[in-house]
Amino acid sequence: MMSEENGTPLLRVRNLGTGYGDLRVVWDVSLDVRPGRLTVLLGRNGAGKTTTLRAVSGLNKAVAGTVELDGRDVTRLAPHQRVRLGMAYVQEGKRVFHRQTVEQNLLLGGYTLKMRRAALREEIQRIYELFPVLGEKRGLLAGSMSGGQQQMLAIGQALMARPKLLLLDEPSGGLAPAIVSEVMERIGQLKETGLGILLVEQAVEASVRVADQVAVIDMGRVVVSASADEVDDLGVLRDAYFGRGGREAASG
C-alpha cells in the first residue's frame, strides 16, 4: 500500500493499536511521513485520527505496533522525550496557554532548546517573520486572540522547538473558510523548509491540495493509502467515509 520513495521515512508507524484504558479505538494503523513531505490522515469523526496522533506523540500508550522517528524506535518514550527528539504536536482545539501572553507561549515553546534568553528571542523573531500577526500581538494574552490567530500561535509554539516532524490536528477546525485556505497555505510553505508533516483534517479538499500522501482511516484501520495525485477523484474518499466500499455507484 505504501508508495515507494527513496530514503528512510522521518516517521514510520507500523500496525499501531491504541485507545483509552480498555477502550480500543485504533486497531491497525500504518503510515509514513517523509522529510519535506505532507501526509494527510482523513476519516469521519470517531474514526481514530486524533487517537492515532496521540499515540504517535506518546500521550496514549501504544498497545500494539511501533512508532519510529528518524529510524529510532520511540514507541516506549514519554511525550517530552519525543519532543526533544524533534517531534512537535499541535493538538486540536488551538490548545495554547490562554493565561499567558503570545510571547510567553512562544518562550515556553522553546523550553527544550536550553538556550539563553537572548538566543531564544532570536528564535522568536523567526516565528514572528513567519506569522507577522503574532509579532503585532506579542504582549496580548493568548486567550484574547481570535481563533485563527490562536491556531497560528499554536503552530508557532510548536515550531519554536525546531522540530523535524510536525503533527497537526485539525488546524482548520472552527475557522472560517477564508482563514482555512490561509492556514493551509502556511502549512504548504512549512514543508518547503524540509519539515515532515502529518496532518489530520476534516476539510478534505483543502488538505488534499497540499498533501503528498493520503491515508483514510475508518473504525481504527487504514482503509485507503495512496499518493495525493491518485485520489484526485473524491469519490474514493466519499466511499471510504460512508463505508460503502464502492458497492454502490453514485447515481440519481
Chain contacts with other proteins (rule: CB under 8 A): 19, 22-25, 44-47, 57, 59, 78-80, 83-84, 88-89, 91, 95-100, 104, 107-112, 157-158, 161, 172-174, 177, 201-207, 219, 234-235, 237-238, 241-243, 250-252
CB of 111 to other proteins, least distance (A): 5
Is the Cβ–Cβ distance between 55 and 61 less than 8 Å?
A: yes
Cβ nearer to other proteins, comparing 15 with 20: 20
CB of 247 to other proteins, least distance (A): 11
| CA pair distance 89, 191, nearest whole angstrom | 15
CB of 78 to other proteins, least distance (A): 7
Cβ nearer to other proteins, comparing 57 with 151: 57
Cβ nearer to other proteins, comparing 177 with 194: 177
Q: What are 94-100's contacts with CB under 8 Å, separation 24+?
A: 94/147, 94/150, 94/151, 94/153, 94/154, 94/174, 95/154, 96/142, 96/150, 96/153, 96/154, 96/157, 97/142, 98/141, 98/142, 98/143, 99/141, 99/142, 99/143, 100/141, 100/142
Cβ nearer to other proteins, comparing 5 with 234: 234
CB of 5 to other proteins, least distance (A): 27
CB of 71 to other proteins, least distance (A): 21
C-alpha cell at 9: 521515512
C-alpha cell at 180: 482555512
